[in-house]
Chains A and B, each alone.
Chain A
Amino acid sequence: MIPPAFDYHAPTSLPEAIALLSRFGESAKVLSGGQSLLPLLKLRLGAAEHLVDIGRIPGLEYVREEGNFLRIGGRTRESVLERSDLVRERYPILLDTARVIADPLVRNRATVGGNLAHGDPANDHPATMLALRAEVVAQGPQGERVIPIDQFFTGLFATALAADEILTEIRIPVPPNRTGGAYVKLERKVGDYATAAAAAQVTLDASGVFQRVGLALTNAGPVPARAAAAEDFLSGRRVNEGSIAEAARRAAAAASPTADRRGSVEYKREMARVLAARALKKAVERAGGR
């Protein structure tokens, strides 16, 4: 399939890219790894008159800790995240997430920024970034602004990014001691979207009480959102089978999955419950709890 005709621009600096986006407005799309955008164009599910490729702008691919944040460049490929020692040792939830996105070939092109900016509730990074309470950095004609992840997803395939803004960085707060996170996904086969998946990030106190909890589900509604009821329930409670089970039940009850070839609403909600519990348990283990 050949996509409909468009014009292609390959700016070599952010100001140049932003100027192009300002000029073309809604008729332009940012091309990052292209692993969602190019299939959409080929299948005529989306259209663009101009593609602004940010792949030739230096300095947008990095993973480093700096100033109390893990900073991920917006154009960092999933394969880079997957092979990062820093991620493997300090942020295993990100490794859990990256390695179940699409397949290894797609991950050589697909980017973390693209996964978020696409605004697809079936994508895997939104839940993880919600659990991690990440921030998204956007660059536009007026400079830089920082968007809390809770304000980033505004609708189905819609985000808080303006047409002339580029997602340049994701910032994840460096976790305090006794913190652990995990992402678990049920997929029919490699490359499929989640039937259900859950991301959990927990901080425990020395006596085994949940101090801070981040929990979010993938593909559980039209807009990626945190499982706030479950988070609130767990905060201040002791880690045990019962508290985790009840939180998972509350997360699943608040989910609104849709029926498709992956299963019925009832089945998906039940899987969301099971996976939320598993993610919480694994996060607790990684936090050094039991």
Chain B
Amino acid sequence: MATHEIQVTVNGAGHQLKVESRLLLVHLLRESLRLTGTHIGCDTTHCGACTVLLDGEPVKSCTVLAVQADGAAITTVEGLEQNGKLHPIQEAFWEKHGLQCGYCTPGMMMTGCALLARDKDPSEADIRQAISGNLCRCTGYSNIVKAIKAAAEQLRQQ
């Protein structure tokens, strides 16, 4: 069984880990690091529940090998809150009822954060396009779009 020493920075903290070649990034996060905020939904690259930021880009962590992330900086939903204060996107999902069951929410918020990092004032169409790889089966998306829009406003005021 092939194993590799890898180094990853997750939510700002460095980790040195010994991983099997076939270990998926989502399992590294959930099982090796016990960061279970990143969900596994379809496990087939469709639903986006497992979305995390890999060097700032949102990716489906069920379709990335942990070894491919060697040397990378990863942000998960646990990394959004800073000093006990929720990130504006978390506040906005709460405020705008951007979730019902909550299963897709971590992935939605990570995709939303990445969008707002490169576009401070996205249109509704931009938001819908950005989250088109994240499936929600409860909300009908309207409140998710409103939440990302509200978070954009909040971030612009900061």
Interface residues of A (CB under 8 A from B): 1-8, 10, 31, 34-35, 38-39, 41-43, 51, 53, 55, 79, 102-106, 108-109, 190-191
Q: Are B44 and A39 in contact (CB-based, < 8 A)?
A: yes
Which bracket fits the contact residues of B?
20 to 34
In Å, the complex CA distance between A7 and B111 comes to: 31
Q: At the interface, yes or no: B155 with Cβ under 8 Å from chain A?
A: no
A189 closest partner in B (C-beta)? B132
- 17 CB contacts below 8 A, A to B, read A1-B43, A1-B44, A5-B22, A6-B2, A6-B22, A31-B65, A34-B63, A34-B68, A38-B64, A103-B48, A103-B132, A104-B58, A105-B59, A105-B134, A109-B63, A109-B64, A191-B133
Asked, given contacts A5-B22, A8-B4, A105-B48, whether A38 binds B65 with beta carbons under 8 Å apart, the answer is yes
Max chain B Cβ within 10 angstroms of own Cβ: one of A34, A103, A105, A108: A105
**Closest A residue, CB atoms, query B46:** A191
Taking a contact as CB atoms closer than 8 A, the residue among A1, A5, A55, A108 that contacts B21 in the complex is A5
Q: Which of A7, A8, A42, A103 sits near B44, CB closer than 8 Å?
A: A42
Q: Which residues of A contact B133 (CB under 8 A)?
A: 102-106, 190-191
- Nearest first, the 4 A-B pairs at minimum CB distance are A103-B133, A8-B21, A105-B133, A190-B132
Q: Is the CB of A5 within 8 A of B1?
A: yes
Residue numbers in B under 8 Å from A109 (CB-CB) = 59-60, 63-64
Interface of B is mostly: mixed
Least Cβ distance of A184 to chain B in Å? 17
Flag whether B105 is at the interface (Cβ < 8 A): no
Q: Is B20 an interface residue (CB 8 A)?
A: yes
A53 to B57, CA, bound (A): 19
Q: Which residues of B contact A2 (CB under 8 A)?
A: 22-24, 27
Q: How far is the CA of A79 from the CA of B20 in the complex (A)?
A: 29
B129 to chain A, nearest CB (A): 7
Q: How far is the CA of A222 from the CA of B4 in the complex (A)?
A: 39
With beta carbons under 8 angstroms apart, the residue of A3, A53, A102 that contacts B22 is: A3
B45 at the interface (CB under 8 A from A): yes
Chain B residues with CB below 8 A from A108, complex form? 54, 57-59
User: How would residues 2 to 36 of chain B score, 1 for a CB under 8 Å from any chain A CB and 0 otherwise?
Assistant: 10100000000000000011111001000000000
Residues of B within 8 A of A43 (CB): 44
Across the interface, do A39 and B45 meet the contact criterion of CB distance under 8 Å? yes
Q: Could you tell me the distance in whole angstroms from the C-beta of B24 to the nearest C-beta in chain A?
A: 7
B2 lies within 8 A of A5 (CB): yes
CB contacts (< 8 Å) of A42 on chain B: these are 43-44
